[in-house]
Amino acid sequence: MTEATRSRPLVVVLYEVPLFVEALDGLFEGLADVRPVPRDGSAEPLVHWLRPDALIVDGPVGFAPDYADAAEVPVVHVDLHESRLGVRSEGRWVDAGADTSPEAIRSALVASLVGEGVR
């Protein structure tokens, strides 16, 4: 599906921990289409091909900030080791606190998608 024909935003979940994807299961129902992408050698070209409207990343951010800045889409970074949530929008990271629950991730993503930023 191309960007023009999407009825809902496409969110790519770039993951290191498979269970992280499971935690988000059903979380964006009715809000966005979610496409999990494992962090391996094909992740970057796949993300470029998918052209998502937003990224959720667990683990090291890797290429995500560069892609997001160029494509002007937000990134929600979930650091499960340090229990921190961060949002990158318009080329800068904003700390979104220590709550890494699925609901907090959804709130951060929705806020960044509608351009409200993180409170």
Partner 1 sequence: VRTRILVADGLTVFRAAVHNVLAREHDFDVLEAASAPAVEALVGAERIDVALLDLALPPDGALPALELLRGAGAEVIAWSFEPEAALVLEAIRAGASGYLAKDIAPQGLVRSLRGVARGEAALSRELTALMIAALRDLDERDAAREHVGVLSAREREVLAHVAAGARNRQIAAALSISQFTVKRHVQNILQKLEVATRADAAAFHRAAFGVGERQTA
Residue closer to partner 1 by CB (options 72, 103) is: 103
Q: Please report whether residue 87 would count as binding partner 1 according to CB under 8 A.
A: no
In this chain, which of 26, 41, 45, 115 binds partner 1, going by CB under 8 A? Answer: 26
What does the per-residue mask of binding to partner 1 show for 47-86, with x meaning CB under 8 A? -------------------------------x-xx-x---
Report CA Rg, the chain.
13
Q: Please report whether residue 25 would count as binding partner 1 according to CB under 8 A.
A: yes
